[in-house]
């Protein structure tokens, strides 16, 4: 048994608390030696600047070591001041109830550990146990509030408050995908992910320490340019033009994306990463919505063409500002409803997380695109030929859409109708496992963090994929498709399939759901998937 305890978090920086040995085994063909890449060593300069003393990886690149004694003192004081703010109704009104409940009532029964893919995939490393993180925060708080008193030790306040403990805690907040699978199993209905999220919020909103790719080059960039990709209005319009031309070349039919159409029924917002990384996805939406005769538009206004809202992972202030900017774009167009494309966290941010942040004119209905897509299939408005998708297809359930929003069946009904070889992963639906990129990990490409993501947080999903395709996995002539109707999940799959070379070796492909739909459209005489033309 791993002997690590929460009070070990305050050990000296030279001691690394965990390392990635003895990870959860993977099924065939990845059970053989050398199928999995080895780990790269941690650079010494990183050890000096960042906190690598948790597990050797750097998730939060803005969490830098204090340089002097006075900086260390300031660092600790800021943390403690932020800690108080987490418990104050004036500063944490939106999360006060879930946070307090999770903080106060945990029975430490350990059920959450069984449900956590990070803990399980790591081979049961104590540091990744959900309870380890939440209990460290509890013990720090008790140590802080009951300094020196016997009651501190009696109630668990045994963690020494030093900079190293806080740095490690700040890193540890980014070892949880915020997938909430643990909360589903808690016998008291408590949510460990809310504690991880609140630690992130404390570091961001009080100490200004959030990962660059979530903050400066994420939400800040989105509020400045209109998109977290840095794509401004002109670049967006150029991209659309390019996609339109590409579609015409490939399909021989002209499709026009309606932009800034006043009074349209639907404002369709995609994760802007789609335009750059997976342009076939917004293109497929345009084909389907146009052919189905929907009255829709896209916005070229600030945040109106990017549905992402990284704020929901780490910072309430940023989440609120982005959400309101998106609502404003919709209001200015006078649309009746906002429809979110294939992006999981954007679904939840728009429909659920921001639901109680706007009223009146800004209170515009938001919905998932999946039921609309399901209606297109059901209605017969478009003729589909399912045999065009006659290859093994499995479905990844994005946590934010399924577990946190309850959209489970529409995407399945589409796949059942259009993919003859559809098979479920186990487990699936609301019991699914995270892709490994949840909670911002798919975006955090800094230093060696992607390596941790691939080795640990994406490991359970990779195992599920191998199991779902086990009958065909070793035959590279058969394409195997992971339907991942979420941009960040797709980012995680792209990196996963590349890291494990599963596409190159075994022809495992990935993409969204609309691409499958267009691929099955009878009116086109060639496949929508270019990789399908190779076979």
- Binders in 196-235 for other proteins, by CB under 8 A: 204-208, 215, 220, 222-226
Pick the closer one to other proteins by CB: 32 or 356. Answer: 356
Task: Verify binding: residue 341, other proteins, rule CB under 8 A.
Answer: no
Task: Verify binding: residue 531, other proteins, rule CB under 8 A.
Answer: no
Token reading at 522: 């009878």
Number of residues near other proteins (by CB under 8 A): 99
d(CA 190, CA 301): 39
Pick the closer one to other proteins by CB: 250 or 337. Answer: 337
Query: Which of 275, 273, 343, 302 is CA-nearest to residue 489?
Result: 343
| Touching other proteins, residues 235-254 (CB under 8 A) | none
CB distance 424 to 384 below 8 Å: no
Shortest approach of other proteins to residue 410 CB, angstroms? 6
What is residue 521's three-state secondary structure?
strand
Binding mask 294-333 vs other proteins (x if CB under 8 A, - otherwise)? -------xxx-----------x-xx--xx-xx--x-----
- Of 55, 164, 171, 191, the one binding other proteins (CB under 8 A) is 191
Instruction: Tell me the window of 60-68, 104-112, 473-481, 523-531 that interacts with other proteins (CB under 8 A).
Output: 104-112
The set of residues, in sequence order, having a beta carbon less than 8 Å from that of 68 and lying 6+ positions away, is none
Cα-based distances in Å from 288 to 83, 143, 293, 336, 373: 49, 58, 8, 19, 8
Task: Verify binding: residue 292, other proteins, rule CB under 8 A.
Answer: no
Q: Which residues of 402-436 are buried (b: 16+ CB within 10 A; e: fewer)?
A: bbbbebbebbbebbebbbebbbebeebeeebbbbb
Shortest approach of other proteins to residue 496 CB, angstroms? 25
- Of 372, 454, 468, 483, the one binding other proteins (CB under 8 A) is 372
- Of 64, 78, 233, 445, the one binding other proteins (CB under 8 A) is 78
Task: Verify binding: residue 59, other proteins, rule CB under 8 A.
Answer: no
Task: Verify binding: residue 184, other proteins, rule CB under 8 A.
Answer: yes
How many other β-carbons are positioned within 10 Å of the β-carbon of residue 81?
12
Query: Which of 67, 69, 45 is CA-nearest to residue 58?
Result: 45
Task: Verify binding: residue 290, other proteins, rule CB under 8 A.
Answer: no
Instruction: Tell me the window of 22-30, 161-169, 355-363, 523-531 that interacts with other proteins (CB under 8 A).
Output: 355-363
Task: Verify binding: residue 148, other proteins, rule CB under 8 A.
Answer: no
Pick the closer one to other proteins by CB: 4 or 532. Answer: 4
CB distance 443 to 216 below 8 Å: no
Task: Verify binding: residue 195, other proteins, rule CB under 8 A.
Answer: no
Burial class (CB in 10 A: 0-12, 13-18, 19+), 78: middle
d(CA 448, CA 428): 30
Strands 393-395 and 480-483: parallel
- Of 48, 73, 97, 531, the one binding other proteins (CB under 8 A) is 97
Shortest approach of other proteins to residue 183 CB, angstroms? 6
Instruction: Tell me the window of 63-71, 356-364, 477-485, 499-507 that interacts with other proteins (CB under 8 A).
Output: 356-364
Q: Which residues of 269-285 are buried (b: 16+ CB within 10 A; e: fewer)?
A: bbbbbbbeebbbbbbbb
Task: Verify binding: residue 356, other proteins, rule CB under 8 A.
Answer: yes
| Touching other proteins, residues 108-127 (CB under 8 A) | 108-111, 114-115
Pick the closer one to other proteins by CB: 332 or 385. Answer: 332
Please report, in angstroms and rounded to a whole number, the separation of the first and last CA atoms in the chain: 50
- Of 135, 274, 280, 515, the one binding other proteins (CB under 8 A) is 135
CB distance 127 to 4 below 8 Å: yes
What is residue 268's three-state secondary structure?
strand
- Of 48, 67, 73, 107, the one binding other proteins (CB under 8 A) is 107
CB distance 174 to 211 below 8 Å: yes
| Touching other proteins, residues 409-438 (CB under 8 A) | 409-410, 429-430
CB distance 474 to 508 below 8 Å: no
- Of 183, 269, 468, 489, the one binding other proteins (CB under 8 A) is 183
The number of residues in the chain equals 535
Residue 367 is inside which H or E element, if any?
strand 366-368
Residue 96 is inside which H or E element, if any?
helix 96-105
Task: Verify binding: residue 352, other proteins, rule CB under 8 A.
Answer: yes
Shortest approach of other proteins to residue 211 CB, angstroms? 14
Task: Verify binding: residue 381, other proteins, rule CB under 8 A.
Answer: no
Pick the closer one to other proteins by CB: 5 or 65. Answer: 5
- Of 72, 244, 291, 367, the one binding other proteins (CB under 8 A) is 367
Task: Verify binding: residue 458, other proteins, rule CB under 8 A.
Answer: no
């Amino acid at each position: 048994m791993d002997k690590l305890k929460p009070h070990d978090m305050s050990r000296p920086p030279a001691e690394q608390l965990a390392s990635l040995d003895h990870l959860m085994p993977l099924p065939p063909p990845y059970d053989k030696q050398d199928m999995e890449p080895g780990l790269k060593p941690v650079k010494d300069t990183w050890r000096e600047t960042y906190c690598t003393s948790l597990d050797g990886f750097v998730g939060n690149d803005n969490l830098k070591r204090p340089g002097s004694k006075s900086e260390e003192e300031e660092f600790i004081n800021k943390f403690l001041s932020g800690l108080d703010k987490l418990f104050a109704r004036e500063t944490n009104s939106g999360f006060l109830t879930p946070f307090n409940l999770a903080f106060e009532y945990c029975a430490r029964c350990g059920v959450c550990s069984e449900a956590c893919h990070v803990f399980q995939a790591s081979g049961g490393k104590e540091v990744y146990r959900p309870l380890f993180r939440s209990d460290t925060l509890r013990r720090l708080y008790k140590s802080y509030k009951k300094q020196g008193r016997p009651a501190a030790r009696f109630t668990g306040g045994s963690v020494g408050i030093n900079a190293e403990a806080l740095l490690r805690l700040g890193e540890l907040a980014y070892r949880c995908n915020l997938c909430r699978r643990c909360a589903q199993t808690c016998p008291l209905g408590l949510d460990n992910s809310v504690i991880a999220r609140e630690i992130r919020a404390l570091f961001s909103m009080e100490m200004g320490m959030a990962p660059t790719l979530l903050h400066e080059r994420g939400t800040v960039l989105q509020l400045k340019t209109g998109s977290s990709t840095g794509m401004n209005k002109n670049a967006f319009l150029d991209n659309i033009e390019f996609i339109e031309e590409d579609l015409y070349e490939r399909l021989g039919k002209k499709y026009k994306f309606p932009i800034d159409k006043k009074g349209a029924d639907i404002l369709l917002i995609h994760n802007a990463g789609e335009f750059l990384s997976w342009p076939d996805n917004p293109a497929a939406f345009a084909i389907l919505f146009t052919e189905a005769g929907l009255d829709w538009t896209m916005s070229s206004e600030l945040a109106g063409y990017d549905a992402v809202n990284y704020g929901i992972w780490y910072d309430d202030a940023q989440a609120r500002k982005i959400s309101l900017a998106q609502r404003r774009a919709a209001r200015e167009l006078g649309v009746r409803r906002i429809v979110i494309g294939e992006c999981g966290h954007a679904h939840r941010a728009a429909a659920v997380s921001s639901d109680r942040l706007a009223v009146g004119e800004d209170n515009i209905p938001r919905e998932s695109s999946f039921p609309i897509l399901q209606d297109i299939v059901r209605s017969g408005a478009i003729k589909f030929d399912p045999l065009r998708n006659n290859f093994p297809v499995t479905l990844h359930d994005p946590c934010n859409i399924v577990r946190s929003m309850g959209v489970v069946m529409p995407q399945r009904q589409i796949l059942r109708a259009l993919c003859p070889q559809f098979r479920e992963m186990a487990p699936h639906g609301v019991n699914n496992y995270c892709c490994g990129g949840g909670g911002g990990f798919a975006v955090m490409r800094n230093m060696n963090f992607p390596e941790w993501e691939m080795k640990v947080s994406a490991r359970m999903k990779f195992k599920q994929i191998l199991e779902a395709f086990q009958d065909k996995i070793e035959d590279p002539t058969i394409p195997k498709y992971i339907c991942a109707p979420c941009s960040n999940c797709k980012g995680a799959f792209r990196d996963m399939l590349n890291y494990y070379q599963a596409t190159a070796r075994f022809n495992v492909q990935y993409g969204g759901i609309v691409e499958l739909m267009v691929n099955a459209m009878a009116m086109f005489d060639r496949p929508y998937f270019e990789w399908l033309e190779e076979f």
